[in-house]
Structure 1
Amino acid sequence: MRKVWIVDDEEWTRISIREQIDWAALGMEVAGEARNGRAALEGIRQSPPDILLTDIRMPVMDGMALLEQVHQEFPGIVPIVLSGYSEFEYAKKAIVYGVFDYILKPIDEEQLAATLRRAAERLNEEDNRKNELVEMKIRINESGPLTKERALTRLVTEPGLGEEARRQALRKGGFAEEPEGRRQALAFEAANFADVATRKYGGDEGLASFALLNVLEELLQPFGRGVFFRRFGRQNEFVWLRAIPAEEDESEFDGFFGKLEGMLARLTELTGFRLYAGVGREFASLRGASGSYAEANEAVRNAGIVHRGPIVHSDEVSGRNEYYRYPVDKEKMLLHCLENGYKEQALDMIDELFREWTGSETIHPGSIRETMDELKVGIRKMLKKHGVALEQVTGEAAYDADGAEYRSFERMRQRLVRTIERVSDYMSASRKVGARKAIEDIVQYLQRHYAEEISLHAVSERFHLNPAYLSRLFKSETGQTFNDYLSRVRLDATVELLRNEQLKVSDIASLVGYENANYFLKKFKDFYGCTPSEYRNRHFR
């Protein structure tokens, strides 16, 4: 599905475009709308569309300014300008911003649909050209790079590699002999790899990985010597064994990593991939590469937890040595809230938990992940008691295939909040259905057994409910208290029995469940305003 943004300060125009165009038939969907350029730009930066429909004259930021900014930041977006006749000459100046076409207002539905189809065709042609180039590169370079990837991956992932195996790996990795000088391992991962692969590469992660590999390798070239490769067998893991210049000292590190951060920002602009970089310690011999890489890999794995920026040093992870454990009483309270459908209380507890985590600089990320797992296990066990699996309730797999949900606080929180909301809604709906059924059964029981000795406590035991809970539930479902409802059932039965003049009033009292005749007479008079005998004389004689 191609994504389209509609930007126009006239609400009716936006509604008209959204409702009159058959988007599904065009293979498109409206991904966002805005009434001015500034609001549109904020949304586009969050989720870039394929096609932009924009007016020219708008408040805050007009269409020309929006087109200029989009052209700079997202050159792959296809812009289509909507303009009135009086604006047309002015709007044509936007050609420098890569405008695909112009639609005059009032907008003709068929003309707009035809223009959108042509825009989609151009996007498809560009995608095909890109894919052909990438596939050609893959075919040309397939054998050599894969051998090199495998060899270099062994160097950084097998610390116990024997001397002969190490020499072979060096040779296949492109080294005639072991290089001299200081080095440092950096590990790169895209936080949104799966999303971009789906959106821009049709779900082909191999193609997405190859494209990212080439762009990243090219952008790293100005940073000096080093060996860059993709970890063998991993589409979203890249390694750079950086050669540190002999003259570089600690005072120059900040400048280097500042430039590296700028490069990562540029890569995001070009490709849409948001990369994290993990940095390991220096090593003088390639025997130390595996240790440095292990540190870099651990750093990048925890980047979204321990750091706000895209580059994380290994000591930022190793320096966190506090083991966190969620208090047992809080976990019980959270599960209680979920089981009873108290969604807001459960969400408040999750907010409190993440405030504690994000506010700490000492909690180790591993213990945070373990806590997430423990909460998930607790929720799963609670649902199992009710005969349903967690995946059935949430509609999601228990874990992301690439482990992305645990890579940042933002993703962890989104996933946990989504789980809490869906489980709470499910339990709330289930309890309502179950409660309604329980009250229906109890009402039928009272109507059949009113003549017997009945109490709230006895009925609670019979139906395995807490008396206080039953009392609240009964009032909620019927609008009457348990005792008032039982009295009404008995008094209704009394009226029917009064039709039989052969029955004495004292006999009727015991037949409807009242052992104390005086209490029966009082209840009847309180409700009907007369005694049973007076009622019989008025209505049945």
Structure 2
Amino acid sequence: MLTILIADDQREEREGIEFLIDELGFVLHIETAENGRKALEYLEQNPVDILFTDVRMPLMDGLQLTTEAINLNPKLKVILFSGFAEFEYAKTAISLGVSEYLLKPINVEAFQNTMQKVIAQLTDQEQENIASQIKLEYVKKHVLFNLVNGLGIPSSMKEISFELPDHYHGMFLLEFDKNFFENAGPEFEEFILSLLKDPVDYVNLNGCQSLLLFPHLPADSPCSFRDLGTFLHDSILDNYKVHCY
């Protein structure tokens, strides 16, 4: 769920924005702050997707808050609102990277359109991030597969930025009697990784073998690989009714 932080020194203004968000059916987690400084303190400690802030506030005004907030999170969407007499602030706001600018009193239709636009931008951005992460995971697995088989890193992938550890502290080869992975599907990897406390790289080698590569020793103790292997074997047997060696 997306989080919106409403910053305004007038309680009735904050409550009015909260009411509109609820009345128009926007599914957002709402936080409020009574001035710019408290809003900045919240932003420093918590993830926020949308900052909805008044321009004129004590201690720290909306433009100062916007500058600090975008420095903290360049992807933050900022919506400024102010009276008509302060509309000149809009020019400065645009240069700061403000997403939208609304006038007081809030027009319901303008507010609805603005919120829809900003939420759509955030949704598209999240989908792009997911697609990019999936691509990087695919590249990483392909590179690991090549390295394990002594083929080196493909030249087409050398320019793609992803992280590999300098070395691995341990490895499990999971082996099945038959072509287990033809039927197990991608959810097997999710199942295995859900059993492990620490980050592990997973690589499918063929229809009946896969590798678990440990960037760090298991969390419990440096000598727990045998116990961990037994645990994985028993968990696979319980869930998939097959033996893994």
- TM interval, shorter chain, is 0.5 to 0.7
Unmatched runs of 5 consecutive residues or more in structure 2: 154-160, 172-192, 202-213, 222-245
Q: Which residue of 2 aligns with 1:28?
A: 28
1:17 aligns with 2:29: no
CA contact (8 A) 2:168 2:216 kept: no
1:4 aligns with 2:18: no
SS of 2:15's partner is helix
Find the aligned partners of 1:3 and 1:231 in 2 and give their Cα distance.
40
Deviation at 1:26, TM superposition (A): 2.1
Q: Which residue of 2 aligns with 1:105?
A: 104
Q: Which residue of 2 aligns with 1:243?
A: none
CA contact (8 A) 1:3 1:50 kept: yes
Distance 1:102 1:230, change over 3 A: farther
* 1:226-251 residue CA offsets vs partner (Å, 9 max, x unmatched): 71679874585279xxxxxxxxxxxx
Output the amino acid matched with 1:51.
I
**TM-score normalised by length of structure 2:** 0.61
Q: Which residue of 2 aligns with 1:143?
A: 142
Q: Which residue of 1 aligns with 2:166?
A: 227
* 1:213-271 residue CA offsets vs partner (Å, 9 max, x unmatched): 94xx39xxxxxxx71679874585279xxxxxxxxxxxxxxxxxxxxxxxxxxxxxxxx
Aligned CA RMSD, in angstroms, stands at 3.5
Bigger fraction of residues in strand: 2
* 1:318-340 residue CA offsets vs partner (Å, 9 max, x unmatched): xxxxxxxxxxxxxxxxxxxxxxx
1:132 aligns with 2:131: yes
Deviation at 1:145, TM superposition (A): 2.3
Residue 199 of structure 2: which of 214, 237, 262 is its match?
237
1:121 aligns with 2:60: no
1:63 aligns with 2:2: no
SS of 1:21's partner is helix
CA contact (8 A) 2:40 2:65 kept: yes
Find the aligned partners of 1:83 and 1:146 in 2 and give their Cα distance.
57
Q: How does 1:175-324 map to 2 (within 5 A)?
A: 214=162, 217=163, 227=166, 233=193, 237=199, 294=217
Deviation at 1:92, TM superposition (A): 2.6
Q: Which residue of 1 aligns with 2:73?
A: 74
Distance 1:42 1:133, change over 3 A: same
Deviation at 1:121, TM superposition (A): 0.5
Report which structure shows greater RCO (CA 8 Å, sep ≥6).
Answer: 2
Find the aligned partners of 1:236 and 1:98 in 2 and give their Cα distance.
39
Bigger fraction of residues in helix: 1
Q: Which residue of 2 aligns with 1:54?
A: 53
SS of 1:22's partner is helix
Deviation at 1:147, TM superposition (A): 6.8
SS of 1:111's partner is helix
Find the aligned partners of 1:95 and 1:45 in 2 and give their Cα distance.
23
Find the aligned partners of 2:79 and 2:170 in 1 and give their Cα distance.
41
Q: Percent identical across equivalent pairs?
A: 30
CA contact (8 A) 1:228 1:238 kept: no
Output the amino acid matched with 1:124.
T
CA contact (8 A) 2:198 2:219 kept: no
Deviation at 1:3, TM superposition (A): 1.1
Find the aligned partners of 1:108 and 1:139 in 2 and give their Cα distance.
47
Distance 1:120 1:144, change over 3 A: same
Distance 1:230 1:107, change over 3 A: farther
Deviation at 1:10, TM superposition (A): 1.0
Distance 1:231 1:67, change over 3 A: farther
SS of 2:123's partner is helix
Distance 1:230 1:135, change over 3 A: farther
Distance 1:229 1:58, change over 3 A: farther
Q: Which residue of 2 aligns with 1:536?
A: none
Q: Give the total of aligned pairs.
A: 179
Output the amino acid matched with 1:130.
N
CA contact (8 A) 1:82 1:105 kept: yes
Deviation at 1:130, TM superposition (A): 1.9
CA contact (8 A) 2:82 2:103 kept: yes
Find the aligned partners of 2:71 and 2:55 in 1 and give their Cα distance.
18
Deviation at 1:127, TM superposition (A): 1.5
* 1:13-71 residue CA offsets vs partner (Å, 9 max, x unmatched): 001111233367223231x1011111011112222211110011111111111101111
CA contact (8 A) 2:54 2:81 kept: yes
Query: Which one has a bigger Cα radius of gyration?
Result: 1
Distance 1:88 1:236, change over 3 A: farther
